[in-house]
Amino acid sequence: MTIDEQIIRAKELIAKREEIDQQLAELFAGMAPAKKGVRCKTCGELGHIAKTCPTKIAAVGSASEPAR
Ligand SMILES: [Zn+2]
């Protein structure tokens, strides 16, 4: 395995780990809504994750609407 292949493999594993972390965060967020350990990567607030971020959802919603 070359260095380049190792880097690609490492990136794949990191992406997979982040996906698992996200799923675990959602799982625990669903079990305990007031879980303190969950922090949003988008706005940095506690209590929700980037996937369910109200700031991000609002930004995406306004971005899809053409500004007049
Ligand atoms: Zn957020």
The type of residue at 15 is A
Task: Note the pTM of the prediction, 2 decimals.
Answer: 0.39
Query: What pLDDT is recorded for position 62?
Result: 67
Ligand 1 centroid to residue 19 C-alpha, Å? 17
Question: Strand, coil or helix: what is 21?
Answer: helix
Rounded CA-CA distance 19/58 in Å is 23
Ligand 1 centroid to residue 58 C-alpha, Å? 10
Residues facing residue 45 across a β-bridge? none
Cβ contact 50:42 at 8 Å: yes
Token code pair at residue 59: 């930004």
pLDDT in single tens digits along all 68 residues of the chain: 899 999 999 999 999 999 999 999 888 777 655 556 788 898 988 888 888 888 887 877 766 556 56
Query: What pLDDT is recorded for position 67?
Result: 55
Ligand 1 centroid to residue 60 C-alpha, Å? 13
Ligand 1 centroid to residue 65 C-alpha, Å? 21
- Domain range for 7: 3-64
Residues facing residue 46 across a β-bridge? 39
Q: How many domains does the chain have?
A: 1
